[in-house]
Structure 1
Amino acid sequence: MNPLSHFVRATLNPAMYHGDGKNPPFFEGWYFKLIDAAENQRYAIIPGVFLGEDAHAFIQVLNGRTAQSTYHRFEVADFWAAPDKFEVRIGNNCFSEDVISLKINDNLGQISGQLKFEGGTAWPVSVTSPGIMGWYAWAPKMECYHGVLSFDHEIRGGLQINGETINFSGGRGYIEKDWGQSFPAGYVWFQSNHFATPRTSLTASIAVIPWLGSAFRGFIVGLWHQGKLYRFATYTGAKTESLAITDDKVTWVIRDRRYRLELSARRAEGGLLREPTTSEMLARVEETMLASVEVRLITRKGETIFEGRGRNAALEVNGDIPGLLAMAAA
């Protein structure tokens, strides 16, 4: 397949691997969030690949309860991806939208088992708006692209992690991904799909976005509620009314012509993950899975559509946050 055809196919299928034919630096990673039914166990499993001077594949594992993380490194030759759908293998480990199968056994630990995912819904894809990136997905040289593969789904199965058996059956999961050259210089991201109203899910991010020799403060927010996606993004014309970031919380208010969305995420202690730069995978991102987020969606007339508190929220506040706050709101 020629590069243009592959670019079009991959853009219209955000879940699949985008790295075929890419020149370094390039990274791609998929994020699987796993919460058991009792909400006692919480894990993030992040398989991916980094192409550059220190090229390798990897599987990151974050224990959200203890904030401990491990980075399992593999040779690039151990990485394989299907050419037309999301199916990835790293060594003896397999990943897709419907199932992950783990067989990790190295000096950092042992993880084995299989998890199946049922009832997931991805961010809608169309030619004019291929997923969460909107029309920016068609821009060929963005620093970082993003995709949401499942807002919320049920988990079946279990894992053996360093001798401990964890039953995830009946729990809830979430899947997203990133790919490109590097993570943004400064960003905030948080997500929860544990609200009192079942099948409600929130994902929100705001970041410094390089663009045509300059940069702007761009954001993407999706609230999936009762089978409807409420989207707020730079490309939809939504505006950040206010943004405040302290050591304790992130408070963010967004509006568009129809709605006003109020978000308040309570920060908590997290574990250190590696993130891609243009030269290497650096251990510098603190992610917590113990945060919470208050959400209120109202119409411009003041009618409440949704109000609730998200539990087991994942949250990252990373990089040049003063620079992010100082930028003119998009």
Structure 2
Amino acid sequence: MNTFKYRQKYKSNYFEGWYIRLIGKKNIAVIFGITTNKDNPHAFIQYTDSRISKYYSFSLNEVETTNNSVEIGENKLTKNILILNVLDIKLNIKFLNVKALKKNFINNSIMSFLYYLPLECYQEVIYLDGEYTHESDKGRIYIEKTYGKKFPKEWIWIQSNSLPLTLASAKMPLLFNKFGFYCLFEYEKKQYIFASYKLGKIKIMRSGNTVNINIKQGRYRLELHLKLNNTVRLLGPTNNGLMTITVNESLDSNLSVKFTKKNKLIHQSTHKDIGAEVEMKNHS
């Protein structure tokens, strides 16, 4: 399964977006997106650097896709490069030494068999970690893709490169509006996946800008403590892929991680420059 390619899971009233994070001299996030909402079909590029957020619209006629690339106007994303050429933003970036999700027994989708079920929203991890070069700058990258009819009613998303980690948890109608989740991270060259479909259990406790997450799966336990810092406003899809939801995203949050097996400590660390979205009510 090629997690990069334009899936076009539905023909109309649908969205699909490729999300790229660059962590170097500046923290940058870029989204290449397509919406086929019947009232406002268009392609778009979103850009944020923790201070500003910009949304550029394009005609669907300016979109070209292959299995390994997407082009919107003069902007291009492939498995190896990112080229941005929109008004005042010019980037020409190469990706190196990337880490994709290792293939599991069903496919190489982070959603496993849930990919085949009728959900509001689907997500793929394209690169959990990697390097980039751009002129005199270099740093780390993360790439994922989200697609479907709409974003969930409530969700939390966390992403780190210093400890390669990504977590997404959302209310799922398929689970009677309980929170489903996955969390993928790599430690000492081994990838660990915690997920609802692997019978993992998650507990999320939010109080303002502080979020504590406890995950249990078999003999393993993962504890995350997130301090949400500065956020900027992005746009996300509501019903039928209409791009009108406000998404508050941080690129400079802080995260503490504790990983144990049978109550024995395996790893403990703290991290900065964390990507995070906390679009959920306070829970305990």
Q: Tell me which interval the TM-score lies in, with the shorter structure as reference length.
A: over 0.9
Q: Against the structure 1 CA distance between its residues 86 and 277, is the aligned structure 2 distance closer, same or farther, given a 3 Å change threshold?
A: farther
Q: Secondary structure at the match of 1:211?
A: helix
Tell whether the 8 Å contact from 1:35 to 1:168 is kept in structure 2 after alignment: no
Tell whether the 8 Å contact from 1:191 to 1:204 is kept in structure 2 after alignment: yes
Residue 132 of structure 1 pairs with residue 110 of structure 2:
yes
Tell whether the 8 Å contact from 1:187 to 1:321 is kept in structure 2 after alignment: no
- Of the three residues 110, 131, 140, the one matched with 1:154 is 131
Tell whether the 8 Å contact from 1:184 to 1:209 is kept in structure 2 after alignment: yes
Question: Which structure would you say has the larger Rg?
Answer: 1
Distance in 2 of aligned mates of 1:99 and 1:246? 39
Q: Secondary structure at the match of 1:15?
A: coil
- Of the three residues 292, 297, 317, the one matched with 2:259 is 297
Distance in 1 of aligned mates of 2:49 and 2:57? 17
Shift of 1:86: 2.6
Distance in 2 of aligned mates of 1:80 and 1:182? 23
Look up the equivalent residue of 1:224 and give its one-letter code.
E
Identity of aligned residues (%): 29
Query: Aligned Cα RMSD in Å?
Result: 1.6
The 5 Å alignment of 1:22-37 reads 22-36=10-24
- Of the three residues 12, 37, 45, the one matched with 1:59 is 45
Name 2:161's counterpart in structure 1: 193
Shift of 1:321: 2.6
Distance in 1 of aligned mates of 2:149 and 2:217? 31
Look up the equivalent residue of 2:32 and give its one-letter code.
P
Which whole-Å deviations, capped at 9, do the CAs of 1:71-90 have from their partners, x for residues lacking one? 011011111111xx230000
Q: Against the structure 1 CA distance between its residues 113 and 269, is the aligned structure 2 distance closer, same or farther, given a 3 Å change threshold?
A: closer
Name 2:32's counterpart in structure 1: 47
Q: What TM-score do you get using the length of structure 2 for normalisation? A: 0.94
Name 1:269's counterpart in structure 2: 230
Look up the equivalent residue of 2:27 and give its one-letter code.
R
Shift of 1:283: 4.7
- Bigger strand fraction: 2
Tell whether the 8 Å contact from 1:130 to 1:137 is kept in structure 2 after alignment: no
Tell whether the 8 Å contact from 2:183 to 2:194 is kept in structure 1 after alignment: yes
Distance in 2 of aligned mates of 1:216 and 1:128? 24
Distance in 2 of aligned mates of 1:293 and 1:15? 28
Distance in 2 of aligned mates of 1:127 and 1:16? 21
Distance in 2 of aligned mates of 1:88 and 1:210? 31
The 5 Å alignment of 1:235-254 reads 235-240=197-202, 242-254=203-215
Structure 2 unmatched runs, 5+: none
Give the ranges of 4+ consecutive aligned residues of structure 1 lying more than 4 Å apart after TM superposition: none
The 5 Å alignment of 1:35-114 reads 35-36=23-24, 40-52=25-37, 53-64=39-50, 66=51, 68-82=52-66, 85-105=67-87, 110-114=88-92
Shift of 1:168: 2.8
Shift of 1:150: 0.9
Residue 123 of structure 1 pairs with residue 112 of structure 2:
no
- Of the three residues 210, 216, 223, the one matched with 2:185 is 223
Shift of 1:215: 3.1
Shift of 1:27: 0.4
The 5 Å alignment of 1:6-17 reads 12-17=1-6
Residue 178 of structure 1 pairs with residue 155 of structure 2:
no
Look up the equivalent residue of 1:168 and give its one-letter code.
D
Q: Secondary structure at the match of 2:99?
A: coil
Q: Against the structure 1 CA distance between its residues 126 and 298, is the aligned structure 2 distance closer, same or farther, given a 3 Å change threshold?
A: closer
- Of the three residues 167, 190, 203, the one matched with 2:166 is 203
Distance in 1 of aligned mates of 2:56 and 2:265? 45
Equivalences, count = 282
Q: What TM-score do you get using the length of structure 1 for normalisation? A: 0.82
